[in-house]
Amino acid sequence: MIGEYESLGKVLRTIEVKEGLNKDNIIEEIKTELEKQDQGLYKNWEEGKFDVNYVFPLFFCECTLLTIAAENGHASVVEVLLKAEANVNAVDSNKWFTPLHVAAENGHASVVEVLLKAKANVNAVGIEGCTPLHVAAENGHASVVEVLLKAEANVNAVGIEGCTPLHFAAGNGHVDIVNLLLEKGANVNAVDRYGKTPLDYAEGYAKNQDVVKALLDARGGSFVKARNKAMIAGGVNTLLGTAIAVALFTTGTITAQLIPIVIAVVAVTAAALVVGCATYELLKPSTKVDGAEKPIVNSINEQQRVTSISSY
């Protein structure tokens, strides 16, 4: 139950301020406080032989003490639990998140540092394919992003729907994190499974002018716009080719049997044009002069979060 989670959280808050907490007494301290707070949880843990890596059956997921401590930002408790041989890469039963994931998700930079020092997997993957860097970028925790990047987190890791951390940051309007990721070599033109770039996310979801400007300055492109332009060009090419084939047949230049072949050639050419134009529009070098006016993107008073990337 949610009350059980709150009970464990209260226990960890209580022991965090106790003096002399160490790897030899932390289990006893938790046992003493938990017995006062929740008899049911205490008995469950007792059946688990008070193992430091016991997985507590809570309402929304099953997780260890280390995960709860990390999620709530209890850095000193996390450090002592690790010394008591808590599994630094234990995963919960909900999102398959590690303690590093939940610490990053909630912006606890000090906890993230403690976990990384204990050799937590900086690129651990949750059930949706998200790494700690993904969730930190999505939730706007710049200090955590900095710590993870220093620990060599994969800046171009591909997660849910093919999104990179840059997609998440751009889609949620976090310009400071967008800049951090770009400085570390994030692919500004990475595409998700639908062919959308971080710029598409910034323009379509966050509508944040600062983010759009940062991506444009890094030569970011919109695959959606490029694709639409190319499809129009391809359609015009197909119509023109068909018209030419009909005209040639009418004048007797070609026979009826050759018309399907001509149209097929035109169709293939049009398809190649679509792909070629889209690729060129996305990757073409910028011709803007430094200081020139940038495109203006309408901003909104309240930035909406990206629903397609925050549902996990």
Domain boundaries, the chain: 1-90, 122-221, 224-283
Cα–Cα distance for residue pair 270/122, rounded to 1 Å: 45
Lowest mean pLDDT among 50-59, 184-193, 243-252: 243-252
Give the global pTM.
0.74
Residue 232 has pLDDT above 60, yes or no: no
Residue 185 has pLDDT above 70, yes or no: yes
Mean pLDDT computed over 242-249: 53
The residue length of the chain stands at: 312
Superfamily of domain 122-221: Ankyrin repeat-containing domain (1.25.40.20)
* Contact between 232 and 291 (Cβ < 8 Å): no
* Separation in Å, CA 84 to CA 12, 23, 26, 80, 267: 15, 5, 8, 6, 67
Mean pLDDT computed over 165-185: 98
224: pLDDT confidence band, cut at 50, 70 and 90? very low
* Separation in Å, CA 171 to CA 4, 138, 185, 282: 35, 8, 18, 19
**Predicted pLDDT at 128:** 86
* Three-state SS annotation for the chain: CHHHHHHHHHHHHHHHCCCCCCCCCHHHHHHHHHHHHCHHHHHHHHHCCCCCCCCEECCCCEECHHHHHHHCCCHHHHHHHHHCCCCCCCCCCCCCCCHHHHHHHCCCHHHHHHHHHCCCCCCCCCCCCCCHHHHHHHCCCHHHHHHHHHCCCCCCCCCHHHCCHHHHHHHCCCHHHHHHHHHCCCCCCCCCCCCCCHHHHHHHHHCCHHHHHHHHHCCCCCHHHHHHHHHHHHHHHHHHHHHHHHHHHHCCCCCHHHHHHHHHHHHHHHHHHHHHHHHHHHHCCCCCCCCCCCCCCCCCCCCCCCHHHCCC
Cα–Cα distance for residue pair 72/10, rounded to 1 Å: 10
Longest CA span, the chain: 99
Q: What is the average pLDDT score of the chain? A: 81
Residue 299 has pLDDT above 50, yes or no: no
**Predicted pLDDT at 250:** 63
Lowest mean pLDDT among 68-82, 154-168, 217-231: 217-231
Q: Which of these, 262, 194, 273, 193, lies nearest to 232 by C-alpha position?
A: 273
Identify the burial level of 193 via C-beta atoms within 10 angstroms of its C-beta, where 0-12 means exposed, 13-18 middle and 19 or more buried: exposed
147: pLDDT confidence band, cut at 50, 70 and 90? very high
More confident residue, 288 or 208: 208
* Separation in Å, CA 270 to CA 98, 245, 251, 278: 48, 15, 25, 12
Tens digit of each residue's pLDDT (9 = 90 or more) over 60-119: 789 999 999 999 999 999 999 999 999 999 999 888 999 999 999 999 999 999 999 999
Joined tokens for residue 86: 């808590």
